[in-house]
Amino acid sequence: MTVSFEPGADVHSPDINEIMHTLSPTVTREVIGAQAGRLVMLHAAALANPRTGAAAVLVAPSGTGKTTAAMTLGRTLAYLSDETAGITEGGDVLAYRKPLSVIESPLFKTQRAPSEMGLITEANAGRLAALYILERDHEHQGFPVVVALDTIDALAELAPQVSFLGKFDRPLQRLADLLHRAGGAKRVTYRDAEELAPLLARDLGHLTS
Amino acid sequence: MRVRRGDVRDAVYEDGRAAVYVDDQVIVLSEMATVILDTVQDNGTARLDDITQVVLDEFGPPPRPGDAAEMTRNQVLDLIAHGVLVDDDPIVATAPTQRSTEALKDALRHLRSSDHTRWQIPEDVTPGEFLASGRQHHVTSLVAHHIDRLVLPSDLESALRMTTTRTDASVRLLAGELGRALDALDRAGVRALAIKGLALSAQAYGDSTVRGAGDLDLVVPPADVATAHKALVEAGWRHDPAHPIPGSSWAWRHALRTGYELTLESDTSVVDLHWHLSPMKSTCPSFDDLWKRREVLNLGHREVSTLSRYDALAHSAAHSAKDEWRWMRSLVDVHALASDSRTWHADRPLRHDELVTLGLSVLALGRPDCAPPVVDHAVRLAQPYWDDSTALHLHTLQTHVSPATPGTTLIRTLRGSWRSRSAITEVPRVLSRSLLPTWLTVDEPSTTVLVAAPRVMARRIRLMIGRLARSRGGPQRL
């Protein structure tokens, strides 16, 4: 992949902000393409308990709260990703610590390094322990509402959020196995990301021994 | 009816239900659908009657007035539409006949009416012929979306349901592409109106999938065409090699002056970039006027600007007239818009050709209740065109083929300009485009007309001589 201020490169613009805006998703697409058929790659934020390694995957479509959740929760939990959770056949959630895309201008998202945002970046992987399908609702009142999903329904909800699902020989069996490892999927309706902290603490274990 | 399994790559069962993986999608099956799928063995087929019996054995008869055969048939058709099952003997569109086209028009008239009974296909029209007439007139998707108002044989219903499923998927993809194109134009500071296609479908029918999937049509201000072209190319659409590249060349200026659209393609969509609504520029409102009157739709979770309803009616009507009213879809579009009271905020009278289209649509599909008196005037104007357009409906092809005889297109264009009552100033432009067609100017680098035009004219003459020689069987010298 080539990057330049001049036309002709894969990623190019006279504006460095536009280059960064384009570069990060371009790299992500390349990475996802390279791992197709090997990792289950969920459109999700991922965080892990730095003490136990138990990891939570927070699935959500673009623009519905993954980055906000990662930035809010990644100060106490280990930040693994705010975009793509790559999960091995054995249930390891691999870190993909891409820069965080933050809306600071009307034109481009600004790319911020995780460490610059005060996130914990030591862990390279976690063990899948919980899987949430996030539904952020600005009108929601009170505690987050958590609903456990049947495997069948969870498969239907997760499939559109998996990159290259069709590359697996038995795509549904692979996803069902992942759900089994996570103890099933839970749909969480919430308003603010900090409300998710107690839920993750319960499912991932205490941060101190 | 006999069915077999579709390309079901994987399945997971839980408490009597199943999730299956078909065509890169996960489909959750109800308990009845799961039983039906299990009834059809991997490499075998099953008859609808046998499936119905298995369903009855498993679940018992449905509460009255439910009918087990009808419920099973609907479930099987739904599974076929989603590719879980496959019709083992699907109907194939044959050739349209006079009777099938008449039946199609009758069905469309029924669908445009407030008659809530179900229209039945005549016995002397085969499903293959009806399907062919639907395709001929680009209304298969529209008919498929109103299947609950029609009584059709199972195999025809199955084919139409499959059309709906495919169209819905294509339209979802196109809506994403439209959003991507509009984002690129937004970033480049270019205002754009989405016309025809998804936008017209959403506006006229309240559903972006009714008209089927096709190209994306965008209108931008004439002064911004080069900027829009650059933005779309940077966003992944490719320049059409049959069109001059934007720049300072005479060829580009000639294309802008004499044309009204260019095409850009990506791997997933085609964008028709317009800088006027039609080739007869003197008859079109300016972009600024269209923009002031625009309507904003929600397409694919995004706000999309399109023409006002009255402008859309006028544009669809003019487009239909340009094609000599050969396809029913454009008449149905005009009828749908004319049937909506929100359309009739007229800021100018309709042109002669637009009125004729409106009149023909009313003659073909019935008088809309809410339409103003101008509709009756339009019907009177349309009467002389009725027989010719009806005859063309029977014989037209799905895609219009330009006539091979030199000059025919020019004569048709001039005839169209007369029908649309275009200004006389259009004639030199039309002649200029006919003599110096855009595709012949592509390699012309000169910036001045005095150098470029004679060279293109010389190429044109050589081509005409070559074509003449070929038609007489003489040597081919170009």
Each residue's pLDDT tens digit, B12-36: 999 999 999 998 889 999 999 999 9
For residue B10, the distance in angstroms to the closest alpha carbon of chain A comes to 6
Residue pair A95/A81 in contact by the 8 Å Cβ criterion: yes
Q: How far apart are CA A44 and CA A58, in angstroms?
A: 5
- At a CB cut-off of 8 Å and minimum separation 6, what does B210 contact? B141, B142, B145, B201, B204
Question: What pLDDT was estimated at residue B478?
Answer: 39
- The model's pLDDT over A14-58, given as tens digits with 9 standing for 90+, comes to 888 778 877 887 888 888 888 889 999 999 999 999 999 999 999
Q: Is the peptide bond before B65 cis (omega within 30 degrees of 0)?
A: yes
Residue pair A84/A96 in contact by the 8 Å Cβ criterion: yes
Provide residues of A within 8 Å CB-CB of chain B.
107, 150-153, 155-156, 159, 165-166, 170-173, 176
For residue A166, the distance in angstroms to the closest alpha carbon of chain B comes to 6
Give the Å distances, CA to CA, from B16 to A171, A172, B13, B35, B240: 20, 17, 7, 8, 54
Residue range(s) defining the domain that contains residue B17: 2-87
Q: How far apart are CA B183 and CA B180, in angstroms?
A: 5
C-beta atoms of A172 and B187 within 8 A = no
Q: Is B186 helix (H, G, I), strand (E, B) or coil?
A: helix
Q: What percent of chain B has pLDDT over 70?
A: 92
- Per DSSP bridges, beta strands A162-163 and A40-48 are antiparallel
Q: Under CATH, which number does the domain A39-204 receive?
A: 3.40.50
Question: What is the residue-averaged pLDDT of chain B?
Answer: 88
Please identify, among B56, B87, B118, the residue that sits at the C-terminal boundary of a domain: B87
What stretches of chain A show up as alpha helix (H) in DSSP?
A: 16-34, 66-73, 151-158, 171-181, 197-204
Examine the domain organization and report whether B17 and B74 are in the same domain.
yes
Question: What pLDDT was estimated at residue B242?
Answer: 85
Token pair belonging to B356: 């004729």
Chain B residues near residue A156 by CB distance under 8 angstroms: 19, 26-28
Does any CB of chain A come closer than 8 Å to the CB of residue B48? no
Please identify, among B87, B110, B137, the residue that sits at the C-terminal boundary of a domain: B87
Q: How far does Cα A160 stand from its chain's mean position?
A: 14
Q: For chain B, what is the domain count?
A: 4
Look at residue B207 and tell me if it is in a domain: no
ipTM of the complex: 0.86
C-beta atoms of B14 and A150 within 8 A = yes
The residue of chain B with its CA nearest to that of A107 is: B187
Examine the domain organization and report whether B334 and B358 are in the same domain.
yes
Question: What pLDDT was estimated at residue B270?
Answer: 94
Does any CB of chain A come closer than 8 Å to the CB of residue B15? yes
Please identify, among B346, B369, B400, the residue that sits at the C-terminal boundary of a domain: B400
Question: What pLDDT was estimated at residue B411?
Answer: 65
- At a CB cut-off of 8 Å and minimum separation 6, what does B31 contact? B16, B17, B59
pTM of the predicted model over 0.95: no
Q: What percent of chain B has pLDDT over 90?
A: 57
Listing DSSP states for B339-405 in one string gives T-GGG---SSPPPHHHHHHHHHHHHHH---TT--THHHHHHHHHHHHHHHHHHHHHH--SS----SS
Look at residue B301 and tell me if it is in a domain: no
Domains of chain A, by residue range, sit at: 1-34, 39-204
C-beta atoms of A172 and B10 within 8 A = yes
Does any CB of chain A come closer than 8 Å to the CB of residue B27? yes
C-beta atoms of B17 and A152 within 8 A = yes
C-beta atoms of B10 and A170 within 8 A = yes
Chain B residues near residue A150 by CB distance under 8 angstroms: 14-15, 17
Q: Is B281 helix (H, G, I), strand (E, B) or coil?
A: helix
Mean pLDDT of all residues in B147-164: 89
Output A122 or A59, whichever has higher pLDDT. Answer: A59
pLDDT at B402 over 70: no
Look at residue B201 and tell me if it is in a domain: no
Residue pair B149/B136 in contact by the 8 Å Cβ criterion: no
Chain A residues near residue B9 by CB distance under 8 angstroms: 166, 170-171
